[in-house]
Structure 1
Amino acid sequence: MTETIHNILHEISCNQSFLLTTHEGPDGDAVGSTLALASFLRQIGKEVCVHYRDPVPDLYSFLPGAATVQPHIPDQDFDVAFVLDIGELRRAGEEFCRFSRIGKMINLDHHLSCENFGAFNLIDSTAAATGVLVHRIVSAYGFELDFQTALCLYVAIITDTGSFRYSNANREAFTIAGELIDCGVNAWDVAEQLYENQPKKRLELLSLALATLELFKGGLAASVTVTLDMYKNTFADAEFTDGFVNYPRSIKGVEVAVFFRQIEELKFKVGFRSKGKVNVAAFSAALGGGGHHNAAGCTLDGSLEEVKELVYRTVEASL
């Protein structure tokens, strides 16, 4: 791990132009870690372009640098591309995967099943968030954290640890968070932005999703669903579903929660969450997906009934 960070620092020192990207439908860790790395690189004099396949969710638009994220990659050469929090390279999107004007690719991730597609792969499933890996890099460089970089890192860590409620909220995560607070990050200000600033249509969408609640396997598992019709009826979209899977998981006795999110007429994203006893990454992998012990997902083709039947059968067999 130390050698990999040393190699990454060498690439940062020896190169000038950097392209940063993350997975489709970026979450708090994806946005926070890429913007923190971008902030650091710019402050040490590097040229940086941040590209996402999908727009920055409005929830994270308050982060420094969010407005600079590009929907398309500029037609130029880049010395190095950093790919963060992605699991599988294809999740960066077709445009990035086809882009060939990159000298070297570096992979930063904390997914248990992440692909080793980089020239250097800094992958550590014990890290609470990819933002933790960025913090390790900037610390090893000797960079003195400023408020903007600290804010992005804090959001990366607080969102991926569920506000330090999840089992991945380890000592390192708390130690880094304390350091970021010392840099001027205000915990309440961040919490207000993330949790006390919801648009009305998100709650309207949530109310429709909760109406689909189903318990199965004798109450050990539960699911909720969001369909395309629900988006149409509430004028909401996929970015407002972040965290929906936590509602069925919060039910007493439930060990595994499932979230079905329709993305096309016959295609669904399926998210899994565990309270800790069940490794949801195992049956997510069996369905062609990946993730962590407590959080995983996959994409399945078929009608809602067909997808549910397959997922329920897989989860029940695991339980």
Structure 2
Amino acid sequence: MTETIQNIVDEIRANGSFLLTTHESPDGDAVGSSLALASFLRRIGKQVCVHFRDPVPELFAFLPGSDTVNPHIPEQDFNVSFVLDVGEFRRAGDEFCSFRRGGTLINLDHHLSCECFGSHNLIDSGAAATGILVYRIITAFGYAMDRDTALCLYTAIISDTGSFRYSNANREAFTVAGEMIEQGVNAWSVAERLYESQPQKRLELLTRALATLEVICGGRAASLTVTSDMYDATGANAELTDGFVNYPRSIRGVEVAIFFRQLDECTCKVGFRSKGAVNVAGFAAALGGGGHHNAAGCTVSGGLEEIKSRVYDIVNASL
């Protein structure tokens, strides 16, 4: 792993233009780690383009560089492309996957089941967030951390550790977060942005979702559902469902939480969360998806009730 980091540092030193991307429906780690890497590269004089298939969620619009993210890839060549936090290459989106990169492809990830599709693959499932891997690269480069980069890294870490509540909140996560605070990051300001600034329609959507609560497997698993009709009724969108899966997980005795998010009448996204005893990556893999031990997901075709029945059968068989 040390050799891989050094190889990546060498690529950064030797090249001038960089393309960065992450997965569809980017979360806090995806956005924070990508923008942190972009901030660092720009400050050392590199040309950088950040491309996301989907827009930066409003929740993370406060991060430096969020307004520079491109919905499309410019018609030019890049020396190096970084793909962050995707798990599977296809999740970077059709435009990136079909783009003729013509240069080195670097894969940064901490998913347990990540594909090794890069020329260099820095994959560590023991890292609390992909932001941690970006921090390791920046440190190995010998760069003195600036506040904007620190803010993006801090946000990546607290997002993927659930504000240090999840089991992946290891010593390294706390240490790096502490260093970011020393660089001027205001922990309360970030917390206020992430948790104390919700739009009203998110709570209206949550009210409807909580009414769908189902507890199965003798109380060891529970689910919430958001349907297309709920979006129509509240004016909310999928972006505002971030964190909904944590409500069924918070029930005493529940080991696995499931979140069904309807995409259309024939497709549903399914998210799984574990309190640690159950590896939910196996559930997602059985349905064509993937992820971490404690957090995984997949996209499933079929009617909503049919999908729920399939998922419940898989979870029941395990628990």
TM-score w.r.t. length of structure 2:
0.99
- Equivalent residue, structure 2, for 1:293: 293
- Equivalent residue, structure 1, for 2:260: 260
In 1, distance between residues paired with 2:194 and 2:101? 36
- Equivalent residue, structure 2, for 1:173: 173
1:119-268 aligned at under 5 Å gives the runs 119-268=119-268
- Equivalent residue, structure 2, for 1:72: 72
Tell me the amino acid that sits aligned with residue 206 of structure 1: L
1:18-167 aligned at under 5 Å gives the runs 18-167=18-167
In 2, distance between residues paired with 1:114 and 1:227? 30
In 2, distance between residues paired with 1:62 and 1:118? 31
In 1, distance between residues paired with 2:188 and 2:95? 38
Tell me the amino acid that sits aligned with residue 302 of structure 1: G
In 1, distance between residues paired with 2:82 and 2:233? 38
1:280 aligns with 2:289: no
Deviation at 1:104, TM superposition (A): 1.2
Deviation track 1:78-125 (CA, whole Å, cap 9, x = no partner) reads 011000000001111111111013311100000000000000000000
Tell me the amino acid that sits aligned with residue 136 of structure 2: R
Deviation at 1:150, TM superposition (A): 0.1
Deviation track 1:209-253 (CA, whole Å, cap 9, x = no partner) reads 101000011111000001111111111111000000000000011
Deviation track 1:24-74 (CA, whole Å, cap 9, x = no partner) reads 000000000000000000000000000000000000000000000000000
Deviation at 1:287, TM superposition (A): 1.3
**8 Å contact from structure 1 (residues 161, 168) kept in 2:** yes
Question: Secondary structure of 2:308's match?
Answer: helix
- Equivalent residue, structure 1, for 2:16: 16
**8 Å contact from structure 1 (residues 63, 151) kept in 2:** yes
**8 Å contact from structure 1 (residues 76, 101) kept in 2:** no
In 1, distance between residues paired with 2:116 and 2:36? 23
In 2, distance between residues paired with 1:101 and 1:185? 35
Deviation at 1:174, TM superposition (A): 0.3
In 2, distance between residues paired with 1:212 and 1:126? 34
Deviation at 1:265, TM superposition (A): 1.6
1:271 aligns with 2:274: no
In 1, distance between residues paired with 2:114 and 2:152? 23
In 2, distance between residues paired with 1:195 and 1:272? 21
**8 Å contact from structure 1 (residues 81, 102) kept in 2:** no
Structure 1: where are the runs of 5+ without partners? none
Deviation track 1:182-221 (CA, whole Å, cap 9, x = no partner) reads 0000110000000000000000011111010000111110
Question: Secondary structure of 2:79's match?
Answer: strand
In 2, distance between residues paired with 1:81 and 1:211? 44
In 2, distance between residues paired with 1:240 and 1:42? 31
**8 Å contact from structure 2 (residues 22, 86) kept in 1:** yes
**8 Å contact from structure 1 (residues 278, 293) kept in 2:** yes
Percent of pairs identical after alignment? 74
Question: Secondary structure of 1:78's match?
Answer: coil
In 1, distance between residues paired with 2:101 and 2:84? 18
Tell me the amino acid that sits aligned with residue 282 of structure 2: A
In 1, distance between residues paired with 2:258 and 2:177? 30
